[in-house]
Each structure stands twice: as C-alpha cells, then as structure tokens.
Structure 1
Amino acid sequence: MTSLTTIASVHLAAEAEKKSAEVTDWAARIGWVVGLLIFIALVYWLMRQGWKWRGSLQSDLPALPSAPDAPGEPLRTSTGRYHGSTTAGQWLDRIVARGLGVRSRVELTLTDAGLDVVRPGATDFFVPRSALREARLDKGIAGKVLAEGGLLVVTWEHGGTLIDSGFRADRSDEHADWVTALNHLIHTTEGAR
C-alpha cells in the first residue's frame, strides 16, 4: 500500500507542476509594433526635413544651364550613373539644390561647347566649356565610395561655386579616356583665354 501511496503522491506532484503555456499578450505585442512603426516614420520624416533644410541653405545656387541648340559634334559619349555633386574639395558636403543631389542614370556627351548631362527622371544640365575646371579619377563622393579610380569626378564652376560631380560609366575602363578628353578640352580653353 505504501508503494501505491508513493505513486499517487508522485502523480499528484507531477500534476501540480504542470502549467498551461503562457498566452501571448497581443495588446503588448501590437503596442510594440505600432511604436516601432511610428519611430521609423519619425526617422524618415526627420531625414526628409534635413534634405529640405540643406536645399534651402543652398537656394542661392542659380538655375542649371541647359544644352545649347547646336552643341557641336560629340567628342565622347557614355552611359552610366550620376552619383551626386558636392562642394569642390569637400567630398561629403552634398549639394541638393536644383536637383543635383538626386542619383540617377546618366548619359554624358562631351562636345566642343561643354559637357551635356542627360538624366532620365531627374534634372538635366549642361556644363559650358568655360565652366569646366578639372577632371580626375577618385574613389568617393557623398554617399558613394568605390575602389580607387572607380569614379569620374568633374569639377566645374556655377554661380561662383566650385562643384564636384561624380559619375560612374557602365564600363569603368572608359574613365581614364574621359579624364584625358576633359582635361584636354579644359587646357585648350585656358590657352584661348
């Protein structure tokens, strides 16, 4: 009988230890999810406000020039990506005014008149030959860092501001030829002045 009593007491103790699984607190879980979504929305709103604020600080930048009706025969053409523009020599100081901060596909055409930058879905612009200052290979511009020489950077003047614009051709082996062609055009312009 003692063994029966022992078995019964063990069985009762095991039953007492059994608990039902905890029920998910849906109200708390939904509250956390809603709070997280509100936080993410707030961060994006603040980023947008910062972008607009930067644009208003740079509002003194004049309208971008457009290509002349007869720019001349193309010396070089290429397609690729436009990665943005910064204040010359300050690769993290992005310029967002006049649409220069918008990344996009790009079609570059160099003529004797200057550099035509056609950007589907963004503002096109033209850099007159007299505004071109330098072309070089670099590794980065605000928001984009590549291997050394992976970025074609064109320095130009607009409204009294020196601007660096970064491009990456679909075929990066074209970059050196672009630097040579642009610098040749710049130096022949300087000689004519």
Structure 2
Amino acid sequence: MTPHLTTLAAAQKSAEVTDWAARIGWVVGLLLFIVFVYWLMRQGWKWRRTLQGGLPELPVAPAPAAEPTLTMSGRYHASTTAGQWLDRIVAQGLGTRSRAELTLTDQGLFVVRPGAQDFFVPAAALRGARLDKGIAGKVLPEGGLLIITWEHGGTEIDSGFRSDRAADHPAWVEAVNALSPRHTTSTTEHTETEGAR
C-alpha cells in the first residue's frame, strides 16, 4: 500500500470518531438555556401578578334567577386592560386560558371554566362588547374574537372569547350591548337628542 493510500485510510477512520464530550456539553448547555428562559417567563408572570395585586377578588356568581338570554360554548383566551390588547391581566386567575361556558342573563355574565377559576360579571359592570381579531397572544381573522368589556375594582377589562360557532358572535355583541348600562345610557341620550331636533 502506498503512503498516500495509508494516509487516506487513516483520515477516513478518524472522520468516523464522534466527540461525545462536545455533543453532551452542547445538549446540557441547550437544556440549561431552556430552563433559564422558562424561569424568566415564570418570574415575569409572578411580577405581573404582583403589579396587579390591587385587583379585588372576582364577584361570586349568584344562583341564576332568570332564563338565559344566550349561552355559548367555546374558549376563554385572555383578559387585558381595556384598550390595551397586549397588557394581559393574570391576577385572580384571569391569565389562565381554558374552555368556557358562557351564560348571559339579566343578572349578568356567568363564565364557567373547567380547570380554571369561574367568574361572574354583574350586568351593572358590563361596558359593552365588540368583535376583534386579537388579544394578548392570540390573533385570529378579523372578527374572530368576541371581546366583552367590563369593570372590576375601578379597572376596565377586556376579556376575549371564541365560540365553537363563530357565527354566534354578532348576537352576543348585540345582547351584551343591550344589557350594558353605558350602552343603554348612550342610546337613550342619542334618542332624546334626535327627538329634540
């Protein structure tokens, strides 16, 4: 065998050797990085919850005393400060995404969430509803989200829901706006102004 062939054979053999220490080092480093990022996310979540510590406990739902105006099955996506679609509220369990069963009555909005904290919005606290496309980490086609605005502890909150049947959303907007004191007042004022003309 010529020296050239001997060198070539040796080079081919050494190429097959794997540097296991370097590979293990990279894998361990990557795992540590992932754990560190996860820890930072949890710290940010805790910090946000601390900042929102002034938000009072959510109202306890009364026993339903009226026939439901509307019901809906779907998903609860998030709650944010009203008008600030990225300012997620995590206090009082409002940061947990979940399935949701919504019931609207003359008393207000009942939100039942399997695996997460249920909440109730009294009719007097409702501020209106609209269709939108995004809320805190969830973006859908235009009109894909039902956003219900309500007031709690002096803070106006937008809560985002998506029905299993998106065609139900417009009926919910109409019904919530009809029940909302703000919308009712503005409609009455508008009617009185038109009558004065």
Q: TM-score normalized by structure 2?
A: 0.88
The one-letter code of the counterpart of 2:97 is R
Aligned to 1:90: 84
The one-letter code of the counterpart of 2:173 is V
> Gapped runs of 5+ residues in structure 1?
1-7
Deviant stretches of 4+, over 6 Å: none
Report deviation, 1:67. Answer: 1.2
* 1:16-165 alignment, distance < 5 Å: 16-19=7-10, 20-22=13-15, 23-165=17-159
Aligned to 1:169: 163
How many residues in Structure 1 have an aligned counterpart in Structure 2? Answer: 183
What secondary structure is seen at the aligned counterpart in 1 of 2:74? strand
Contact 1:129 1:189 survives alignment (8 Å): no
> Gapped runs of 5+ residues in structure 2?
189-197
What CA RMSD, in Å, does the superposition of the two structures yield over aligned residues? Answer: 1.7
Aligned to 1:5: none
Contact 1:130 1:189 survives alignment (8 Å): no
Q: Please give the alpha-carbon distance, in whole angstroms, between the structure 2 residues aligned to 1:159 and 1:153.
A: 19
Q: Which has the larger radius of gyration?
A: 1
Q: TM-score normalized by structure 1?
A: 0.90
Of residues 164, 172, 184, the one that matches 2:178 is 184
Identity among equivalent pairs (%): 67
Report deviation, 1:49. Answer: 0.6
Residues 16/140 of structure 1: CA separation in 2 closer, same or farther (3 Å cut): closer
